[in-house]
Every structure is written in C-alpha cells, then in structure tokens.
Amino acid sequence: MGSRASTLLREEEIEEIKKETGFSHSQITRLYSRFTSLDKGENGTLSREDFQRIPELAINPLGDRIINAFFPEGEDQVNFRGFMRTLAHFRPIEDNEKNKNYSGDFIAFRLYDLDRDDKISRDELLQVLRMMVGVNISDEQLGSIADRTIQEADTNGDNSISFNEFIKVLEKVDVEQKMSIRFLH
C-alpha cells in the first residue's frame, strides 16, 4: 500500500499540497495511503459511503456533520486534493500561525449551525449536544448548558452565537479539547 501511495502521488503534487495545507511530506504520503485504502471504487475519489466505513466516524455522533464538511454543496465525491484541503482546516494550528485564517474554525462553526443562517441558536446547540451525549444527560441539564454557553459567548445580546462570537470563544479555549477528530490522521 505504501508503494502505491508513493508511485501515484508525484513529487510536485506533494510540494503543492504542502504549500497549500501546511502538512509535511510524510503526513501527505501517509494520508494519501489512507485515502487510497478508503477509495473502494479505486476511481481516485471518495464518496460519503467511503467515509461512513471509517469506524470512528460511524460511531461519532457528529459523524454525518463531519463527513458533510468534505463535500461542497451538491457534490457527492471528493478527490485527494479536496480531501487534504478539508483536513487542513482541522489540523492543529501552531502558535505562530494563529489568526492567519479562520477557515477551519468556520467548518467547526458549520457543525453547529445546522440551518446555515450564520448563527448558532439555542435549539441548534441543544440538537448538537443531544447528538454528542445522547440520553446520558437530562433535557434540563442540556438546556442549562446551552443557556450558559450562549450567555458566555453572546456579546451582542441576540441570544445566539455568531461566527465572530464563536471565534472569540475558540481563542480562549484549545480547539482540540472541543473537537477531537484526530482519527482521520
């Protein structure tokens, strides 16, 4: 499998992907090997079904939301370059890279913004919390968590969390503690 990855991925492609995503040469070849192993149709693309075969995604309550991040509106396939672009949004950001670009944070925001109206409402927060914890916490406790989260993040008083408010919260908290999706690496 490792030889297949190195023979099909040209050195200039690796260099372009390195510049575009910030991944190292070894990370790119390892992820290409993972990509080709997931590509059951052997057509150079992944479908939603290919992603659903990843055990960690299958059991993740946000699995469908994460999978959707790989597919632009109306698309049902993703090639290796698109796969890498999306993964780059989720990679940990070095301290000296912070504030360069918020595209990864935008994807995280979209996981919560279920109706895509550019704000996270209490109901959306509750839906995502229910997906994450199931029936392990009462509705009353979930409501309290949602209320407190919105109260702490909502700086303009509209009872929702905008993208800018979301960013301010993430700047205070380590993103990896809030969204652990390292299983794709």
178: in domain? no
Query: What local confidence, expressed as pLDDT, does residue 39 receive?
Result: 92
Question: Which residue spans within 77-175 are E strands per DSSP?
Answer: 77-79, 119-120, 161-162
Average pLDDT, the chain: 80
Work out the average pLDDT over 38-43: 90
Within a domain: 7: no
Q: Give tens-digit pLDDT for 60-82.
A: 888 888 888 898 778 899 999 99
Asked if the structure places residue 41 within a domain, the reply is yes
Q: Does 110 share its domain with 83?
A: no
Task: Quote the number of domains for the chain.
Answer: 2
**25 and 79 housed in the same domain:** yes
Residue 26 lies in a domain: yes
Length of the chain: 185
pLDDT (tens digit, 9 = 90+) per residue, 163-176? Answer: 889 888 877 665 44
Measured torsion, CA atoms of residues 85, 86, 90, 94, in degrees rounded to the nearest 10: 10
**Residues 178/153, Cβ–Cβ less than 8 Å:** no
Handedness of CA 99, 101, 107, 112 (dihedral sign): positive
Q: Is residue 5 one of the residues assigned to a domain?
A: no
Q: What is the pLDDT of residue 51?
A: 92
Place of tokens 């030889």: 3
Give a yes or no: residue 70 inside a domain: yes
Q: Does residue 48 or residue 108 have the better pLDDT? A: 48
Q: Is residue 112 part of a domain?
A: yes
pLDDT the model gives residue 56: 84
> Rounded to an integer, what distance in angstroms lies between the CA atom of residue 65 and that of residue 162?
19
- Higher-pLDDT residue of 31 and 99 is 31
**Mean pLDDT calculated for residue range 32-45:** 91
Sorting pLDDT into bands at 50, 70 and 90, what band is 2? very low
Q: 74: which DSSP letter?
A: T
Res 16 pLDDT > 90: yes
Domain of 84: which CATH number? 1.10.238.10
* 44 & 68 share domain: yes
pLDDT at 162: 92
Asked if the structure places residue 42 within a domain, the reply is yes
Which structural domain, as residue segments, surrounds residue 59? 12-89
Same domain? For 25 and 50 the reply is: yes
